[in-house]
Amino acid sequence: MSYCPCGTKKDYHQCCGLFISGEQLPSTPEELMRSRYTAYHQVNMDYIARTMKSPALDHFDKKAASEWANQVKWIQLEIVKTKKDDTHGIVEFRAYYIINNKEEIMHEVSEFKFENGRWYYIDSMY
């Protein structure tokens, strides 16, 4: 069994792999957040771009994001807090990684929107 990088301790193909492959859509902002972390782990910028809407998508540079992600060794994703209603969601997380031989932590509060039957990442509120 290959554990999913998102930290759920589930098999990748029964976790984020379902979303990244397009077999299923994430049903919550947390599932989308976890699958986006896994996509960064895989340097899958096509999935990252497909799961974004404006304003976040307005500033997304697929090439630069790919170059950065290729330099990163992801260690762990920690979900701090989640909140959602029918059309809006928030996920606070910490992503631990190593870049240039230095351990870093990305601490972010991400905003999600439910539109046309699916969740999208729309902004970060550090």
pLDDT band for 43, please (50, 70, 90 cuts): very high
pLDDT band for 121, please (50, 70, 90 cuts): very high
Q: Give me the residue spans of the domains in the chain.
A: 12-124
| Cα distances (angstroms) measured from residue 61 to each of 46, 64, 87, 100 | 11, 5, 26, 21
- Classify 12-124 by CATH class: alpha beta
Condensed to tens digits (0 to 9), the pLDDT of residues 48-71 reads: 999 999 999 998 999 999 999 999
The reported pTM is 0.95
Output DSSP code: residue 34. Answer: H
